[in-house]
């Protein structure tokens, strides 16, 4: 388990990193979520989080679509790791043309290749 101090340190390092793009999702000037794209050597790993109560209204789809477009010059292969029990995220990545490339009992690995 990660402590709050460890998480804060990790997050500060992410904010400073040139290999990480962070996008804050807002609705009516309120932060409702976060998209993080970690730029790696061969691909970019995508993470999205919406504050509970903001799912299922298209905010994730619209925000993630824009984030992927804004970073496509830096990356053309995107990876997303989604928990098997997280059906809304599975639907989101499938709707954004990510393809399932592997799974185990806990995680589904999705990939999207753009040109």
Q: CATH number of the domain that 88 lies in?
A: 3.40.630.30
Rounded CA separation 102/12 (Å): 31
Indicate the number of domains in the chain.
Answer: 1
Instruction: Say if 69 falls within a structural domain.
Output: yes
Instruction: Say if 34 falls within a structural domain.
Output: yes
Q: Which residues pair with 108 in a beta bridge?
A: 82, 103
Q: What is the pTM of this model?
A: 0.86
Instruction: Say if 4 falls within a structural domain.
Output: no
Instruction: Say if 58 falls within a structural domain.
Output: yes
User: Model confidence over 33-83: pLDDT tens digits?
Assistant: 999 999 998 899 999 999 999 988 899 999 999 999 999 888 989 999 999
Q: Which residues pair with 113 in a beta bridge?
A: 77
Instruction: Say if 108 falls within a structural domain.
Output: yes
């Amino acid at each position: 388990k990660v402590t709050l101090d460890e998480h804060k340190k990790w997050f500060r390092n992410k904010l400073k990193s040139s290999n990480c793009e962070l996008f804050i999702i807002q609705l009516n000037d309120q932060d409702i979520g976060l998209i993080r794209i970690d730029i790696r050597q061969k691909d970019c790993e995508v993470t999205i989080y919406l504050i509970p109560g903001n799912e299922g209204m298209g905010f994730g789809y619209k925000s993630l679509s824009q984030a992927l477009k804004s970073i496509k010059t830096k990356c053309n292969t995107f990876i997303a790791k989604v928990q098997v029990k997280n059906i809304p995220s599975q639907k989101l990545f499938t709707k954004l043309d990510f393809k399932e490339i592997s799974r185990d009992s806990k995680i589904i690995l999705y990939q999207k290749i753009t040109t």
